[in-house]
Each structure stands twice: as structure tokens, then as C-alpha cells.
Structure 1
Amino acid sequence: MDQVFTDRASGKDIRRPKLDELIRFARTGDTVMVHSMDRLARNLDDLRSVVQTLTGKGARVEFVKEGLVFTGEDSPMANLMLSVMGAFAEFERSLIKERQREGIALAKTRGVYKGRKRVLGPEKVLELTARAAAGIPKAQLAREYGLSRETVYQYLRRGEAPVGPGPTEGPDMPA
């Protein structure tokens, strides 16, 4: 029986639900077909780890684009190809990130890059910060506002509204 596992998450992250499901599902005699190495992992360590895990369970790993197959009983040449191709994928990812940073920096100097649009408007931010100051857990706030906890913390750190007494105010400090 054929089983298809399709990830919508980026290959840069090794913690992906469908990849985890694939690894749990794989067994002796299975063939795992992957479009290309950079779809499976974006750095060499993760790529090797995933391939070794799958071949260690008796599965074959086939990379269609690169035309490579790994079985766990691979020749030194196959291991070299995995390392070289994986290193190129990692290098390519690094170049893309560097170009992106450079492009953003140039756009900022021209005044055309404003960053991502904020999810919450000013009124909702005031409400969020007031509720956080009242002691409501950040995880609960994140769920209620449809945000990640990190985004809640970012709103609170930006100082868009007071979260509580700061270092220059409070009961012992003059107003």
C-alpha cells in the first residue's frame, strides 16, 4: 500500500509533523521518495540524520532530482555524494538568507520596507497589554487573540502600552 506524506512546512525545520509521521511509519522494505534533498532538510547534519534514521529502519531513501538512492549499506561514494549535495543545499540556503537580508536593508534605506503588517490594531494592543498586566497568562492571551506566544511577547516588549510599573515609576518612585 502506498502512503504519501506531504509537508507544508519548510525544509529548514527538522521538527515537522508529517516528517515525524513518516519516520514513525517507515519500516523494512519501504521506499521513501523525496523530490530533492533540499526539500527533506536544509543543512547537512539534519539531512544525514534523517537519511540514517530511515535507512536504519530498513527503508530505502530515493532522491528523484539528484538521482540518488540510499539503503544503509551505501558505498563510500554514495556517502560522499550525500555529503556534497547536502552541503550545497545548506550553502544555497545560506546565500538565499544573505541576499534576503541585503535586500531588506536596501529597501529600508529607500524607505520602502516597513516590515510585516501588524495583526492587532492599537485598541487591541492596549487591551492585550492591560490584560497581560492584570496577570492573564500569555499562552491564554495568544490563543484568544490568534497569535503565537512570541508575538504576544513582542507586542508587550515594544512598549506600545504600559504593561505594569517600569523602572522609573511605581510606589517608591516619584511620578
Structure 2
Amino acid sequence: MKGQRIGYVRVSTFDQNVDRQLEGQSLDRTFTDKASGKDVNRPQLEALLTFAREGDTVVVHSMDRLARNLDDLRKLVQGLTKRGIRIEFEKESLSFSGEDSPMANLMLSVMGAFAEFERALIRERQREGIAIARQRGAYRGRKRSLSDEMIADLHRRVAAGERKATIARDMGISRETLYQYLRAAA
């Protein structure tokens, strides 16, 4: 019995176009995540892993769309192939079935290492850009979530003994953000 061809698409932000990744592919079903590839905690990836069955083929545009970390990439590929699921990476023209040659496994490691290296370079450039902007006085961090009046209300409510989780929820901020406002006032 021939299995299904299942596509997996990932973009980092909501405004990125997902259409180009598996364009022209004949797929029975596609799972799309709009999330960072820094880890494997992505809802549609988890749904794909639950959905895929022995005999299926998972099609991904490129390795860095599946994982940006070599360990995660290997675990995902090995986990799928051990279940009898084939995985194809279009950009790299590589496929893995569990009966792979040593050369295919080497290519997985090399290409996965490049994806991890690329992510590290992106983070490094971002840190450098922020440092340069700070020196110029152009980087001030993220815009404050609360107005001065809301901050005063926050302090009043905390002083009155109200639960911080309730205050944060009412103001539409996380508890960590609430604590940052409290530390800033100290």
C-alpha cells in the first residue's frame, strides 16, 4: 500500500509567504507552522508527527525549514524513518528512508550543521546591530506596554494586595512584564 505525501512548511513570521516552499508538489496534506525553527515545539510539526503513518512520505522545502539545530534535525529524521516514514528535502535533493547510505547520513549532518551555523550567524549579527544602535542612541528597546496612568494603577493594586496574576491578566501583560515594572520603580 502506498502512503500519503505530506508537506511540511515553516516560516518564521506571519507575514512571510508560505506558498513558494512546496510549489508544484503533489501533496495529500500540508502542515504549516508560522514559528521560529529554534526548537521543535511547533503545533503543526507535532500534528504532522502524530498524523504520519508507515509508508507515508514527508516533503519539506529544505532542512532549515524542519530544524535549525543539528540534534533536532537528526532526531526528527531518525524518528520518522524508524517508523517507516520517508522524508524528502527538496532544496538539497536528499531523501531518507532509514536504509540510507553512509554518504546520505554524512550529507544530513553537514547540511544540518550549516543550518545551525546560519542561525548562530543571524543571532550574532542581531546582537552586533543592537550594540551599534545603542552606541548611536538609536536603540531604546521595546516600546512600553503600559501608559504612566496604567503603571500607577498597577502599583496601587499591588500595594492593595491584589494577586499579581490577576493584575497582569487585566492589563494584558505577562507576569514577568508586571515584575519588570515593579523592579523599575524600586
Superposition TM-score, scaled by structure 1 size? 0.82
CA-to-partner distance for each residue in 1:31-79, whole Å, 9 max, x for gaps? 1111111111111011111111222222111111111111122111111
Q: For structure 1, which runs of at least 5 residues remain unmatched after alignment?
A: 163-175
Q: Find the aligned partners of 1:132 and 1:60 in 2 and give their Cα distance.
A: 55
Question: Which of 60, 68, 73 lines up with 2:94 in the alignment?
Answer: 68
Counterpart position of 1:171 = none
Question: Which of 98, 102, 105 lines up with 2:124 in the alignment?
Answer: 98
| Pair 1:7-2:33 in alignment | yes
| Pair 1:82-2:108 in alignment | yes
Change (3 A) 1:132 1:53: farther
Counterpart position of 2:147 = 121
Identity of aligned residues (%): 65
Aligned length: 159
In the alignment, residue 54 of structure 2 is paired with which amino acid? Answer: T
Please state how far the C-alpha of 1:119 moved relative to its aligned partner: 1.8
Please state how far the C-alpha of 1:29 moved relative to its aligned partner: 1.2
Q: Find the aligned partners of 2:111 and 2:173 in 1 and give their Cα distance.
A: 37
Counterpart position of 1:136 = 163
Superposition TM-score, scaled by structure 2 size? 0.78
In the alignment, residue 72 of structure 2 is paired with which amino acid? Answer: D
Contact residue 164 and residue 175 of structure 2 kept, 8 A = no
Counterpart position of 1:42 = 68
SS at match of 1:6: strand
In the alignment, residue 126 of structure 1 is paired with which amino acid? Answer: A
In the alignment, residue 148 of structure 1 is paired with which amino acid? Answer: S
Change (3 A) 1:137 1:84: same
Q: Find the aligned partners of 1:39 and 1:65 in 2 and give their Cα distance.
A: 10
Q: Find the aligned partners of 2:51 and 2:164 in 1 and give their Cα distance.
A: 37
Contact residue 108 and residue 114 of structure 1 kept, 8 A = yes
Q: For structure 2, which runs of at least 5 residues remain unmatched after alignment?
A: 5-27
Q: Find the aligned partners of 2:79 and 2:156 in 1 and give their Cα distance.
A: 48
Q: Find the aligned partners of 1:27 and 1:142 in 2 and give their Cα distance.
A: 43
Query: What does residue range 125-164 of structure 1 map to in structure 2 within 5 Å?
Result: 125-133=151-159, 134-138=161-165, 140-157=166-183, 159-160=184-185
Change (3 A) 1:7 1:101: same
Please state how far the C-alpha of 1:150 moved relative to its aligned partner: 3.1
In the alignment, residue 42 of structure 2 is paired with which amino acid? Answer: R
More strand by share: 2
SS at match of 1:92: helix
